[in-house]
Structure 1
Amino acid sequence: MHLKTDRLIIRDFEKKDTEGLYEYLKTPPVHCFMSEKLNSLDEAEKEVERRGKEGEHFAVCLADTDSIIGDLFAIKEEPDTYSVGWNFNLKYGKSGYATEAAKALIGYLFDNDARRIYAYAEDDNIPSQKLCERLGMRQEGFFMEFISFVNNPDGTPHYENTYQYAILKREWMEL
């Protein structure tokens, strides 16, 4: 994939993304990315290589430098539904990059074979909830103790309450 917006390039991962990916995944800001935590540049290099081959994760880069500031994912569920998500380096927060990148991805998916797109956001991840709303997604559900990404101090799973947001192609076309 290769998409360009006014300020961003959304593309497949490349080896040069290793340090940038490591920078924001060495200390994931929300629990849902704890499974992606990277402990070294070697781990980051392997992760970049994996993502570059799989076709579900995409690097979000500044257009003027092609340096990575975050990533998006789009996982297809046959025949025409996608689960999407995003993770950005907090140094680039509050600049509209996540909205710009997610809009480009969703537009691309709907221009191709998507009919329905959904995203999950944990109840304490307010920035992702607001991003879903800016994208025109509607809240479809709230799942109590839906998933666990980390453990409590006593070793038991810490279950997260999770919102599901979605948008249909016909709704996107009306925005």
Structure 2
Amino acid sequence: MSDIITDRLIIRPFVEADAAELFEYISNPRVNCFMDDKVTTLEQAKAKARKRAKDKTCLAVCLKETGALIGELLLHHDGPEQADTFSVGWNFNEKVEGKGYASESTQALFEHLFTQRDARRLYAYVEDNNFKSQKLCEKLGMRKEACFEEFISFVNNPDGTPKYENTFVYAILKKEWQRAGTPKSPTN
């Protein structure tokens, strides 16, 4: 995939040199679904950056002005039986929160998936206590389709038993995206 460029951001594949900035936000995950990604050393972050560099489902979100890595976008293709459907997600450094970067980058990704990858449907899983991601989904025009009660466990309770999370499913169809008036297209 070629880089996606917006007014303030570059969305590109990861490179090993992203390790230090990747370490900054995956060393302390704020959402339980990213706990499996948690690292405690820069060496572990380097290994994660190398792995992400080979992974086409994980894209680095960088500031256009400085090149600094500020987060990542995740996209998973649902396979040949649903070639036009993608699961999407995001994870950002809390230091850049509230500046619109998550919104800007996900809008650009959605536009790319709908226009360049012929996506028909995009969906996201969001934990019921992740209010910021819920708000982002709504800003993107996604509708809440379901709530899976005690859907998945990423962490344990203090007694060691799994802590199951309620998870919302948000989705948007290409025709809904187009009808809403797609945001300004990114420059490639």
Shorter-chain TM band: over 0.9
What's the C-alpha RMSD, in Å, of the aligned pairs? 0.7
Structure 1 Cα separation of the partners of residues 15 and 67 of structure 2: 11
In the TM superposition, structure 1's runs of 4+ consecutive aligned residues that sit over 2 Å from their partners are none
Structure 1 Cα separation of the partners of residues 179 and 39 of structure 2: 40
1:144 aligns with 2:145: no
Match of 1:131, SS? helix
Cα deviation digits, residues 53-89 of structure 1 (max 9, x gap): 1200000000011110000011001311100000000
Give the deviation of 1:134 after TM superposition. 0.3
Structure 2 Cα separation of the partners of residues 16 and 50 of structure 1: 12
Structure 1 Cα separation of the partners of residues 41 and 13 of structure 2: 21
Letter in 2 for 1:62: L
* 2:60 matched residue in structure 1: 59
Cα deviation digits, residues 100-135 of structure 1 (max 9, x gap): 000000110001221100001101000000000000
Structure 2 Cα separation of the partners of residues 16 and 107 of structure 1: 28
* 1:88 matched residue in structure 2: 92
1:105 to 87, 105, 109: 109
* 1:28 matched residue in structure 2: 29
Structure 1 Cα separation of the partners of residues 17 and 99 of structure 2: 23
Structure 2 Cα separation of the partners of residues 67 and 17 of structure 1: 8
Cα deviation digits, residues 37-67 of structure 1 (max 9, x gap): 0111111111111111120000000001111
Q: TM-score, normalised by structure 2?
A: 0.92
* 1:45 matched residue in structure 2: 46
Give the deviation of 1:30 after TM superposition. 1.1
Q: TM-score, normalised by structure 1?
A: 0.98
- For structure 1, the residue ranges without an aligned partner over 5 or more in a row are none
Match of 1:38, SS? coil
Structure 2 Cα separation of the partners of residues 72 and 60 of structure 1: 7
Letter in 2 for 1:105: L
Q: How many residues matched?
A: 175
* 1:11 matched residue in structure 2: 12
Identity of aligned residues (%): 54
Structure 1 Cα separation of the partners of residues 16 and 155 of structure 2: 29
Match of 1:29, SS? coil
- For structure 2, the residue ranges without an aligned partner over 5 or more in a row are 181-188
Match of 1:149, SS? strand
Match of 2:40, SS? coil
